[in-house]
């Protein structure tokens, strides 16, 4: 068996999404142990990049099994919306709530980070905007989506069928985007109207 190699890479794509390279320990030619970066490492890298690029951080808690998380990612990557998100945010995903064979996909420390940001028990996708120093600018807690205790709950996906949710989402974007453009709302509404599910 060849000697083990420890490879760590940090890759930040030009498209504005932060993907922290995975640490891979090669035990042999045929098997590898994949270790996800910690939630804290992802956020630290995103904040550093946001400071350098004069953007805010768009922090998203999500899971592979969550259909609304996947739809939210589709929204962020839509060709008419992606340039706006890329211009204003460093987007970082925290993998959480994976179970069974997919538990290894979770970023270490995800639960503590969810607790810190009040996301525990709120469902996913749960997202918030942070400035480069880590201060909360806005969160997905909406008065139109109360939690079981009657407090503002998780807006999640800004569904077009919920006008108050949609306007609340647009307001959060206006508040958190360093370079807001009015065409964002027009493009967002057109995108959401095009969806069928």
For residue 154, what are its two tokens?
Answer: 């998780």
Mean pLDDT throughout 35-61?
A: 96
Count of Cβ atoms closer than 10 Å to residue 102 Cβ: 13
- Give 98's contacts (C-beta < 8 A, 6+ positions apart): 63, 64, 65, 104, 105, 106
The per-residue b/e assignment along 24-40, b for 16 or more CB within 10 angstroms, e otherwise, is eebeeeeeeeeebbbbe
Above 90 in pLDDT, residue 59?
A: yes
Tell me the C-alpha distance between 85 and 17, whole Å: 9
- pLDDT tens digit string along 23-45? 433 334 445 556 789 999 999 99
What are the two backbone dihedrals, phi and then psi, of residue 163, each rounded to the nearest 5 degrees? -55, -40
- pLDDT tens digit string along 63-77? 999 999 999 999 999
Going by their DSSP bridges, the two strands 152-154 and 32-35 should be labelled as unpaired
Q: Where are the domains of the chain?
A: 40-194
- pLDDT tens digit string along 105-133? 999 999 999 999 999 999 999 999 999 99
Q: What's the pLDDT score for residue 30?
A: 45
Residue 67, preceding peptide bond in cis (omega within 30° of 0): no
- Selected from 1.20.120.160, 3.90.1150.10, 3.40.30.10, 3.20.20.70, the CATH number assigned to the domain covering 40-194 reads 3.40.30.10
């Amino acid at each position: 068996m060849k000697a083990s190699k420890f490879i760590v890479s940090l890759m930040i794509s030009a498209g504005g999404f932060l993907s922290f390279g995975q640490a891979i320990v090669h035990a042999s030619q045929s098997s590898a142990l994949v270790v996800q970066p910690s939630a804290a490492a992802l956020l630290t890298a995103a904040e550093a990049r946001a400071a350098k690029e004069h953007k805010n951080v768009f922090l998203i808690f999500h899971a592979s099994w969550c259909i609304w998380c996947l739809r939210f990612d589709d929204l962020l990557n839509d060709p008419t919306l992606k340039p706006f998100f890329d211009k204003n945010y460093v987007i970082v995903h925290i993998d959480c709530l994976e179970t069974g064979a997919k538990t290894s996909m979770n970023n270490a420390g995800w639960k503590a980070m969810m607790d810190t940001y009040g996301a525990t028990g709120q469902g996913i996708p749960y997202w918030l905007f942070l400035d480069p120093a880590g201060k909360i600018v806005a969160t997905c807690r909406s008065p139109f989506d109360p939690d079981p205790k009657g407090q503002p709950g998780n807006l999640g996906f800004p569904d077009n069928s919920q006008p108050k949710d949609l306007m609340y989402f647009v307001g959060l974007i206006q508040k958190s985007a360093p370079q807001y453009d009015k065409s964002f709302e027009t493009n967002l509404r057109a995108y959401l109207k095009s969806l069928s599910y």
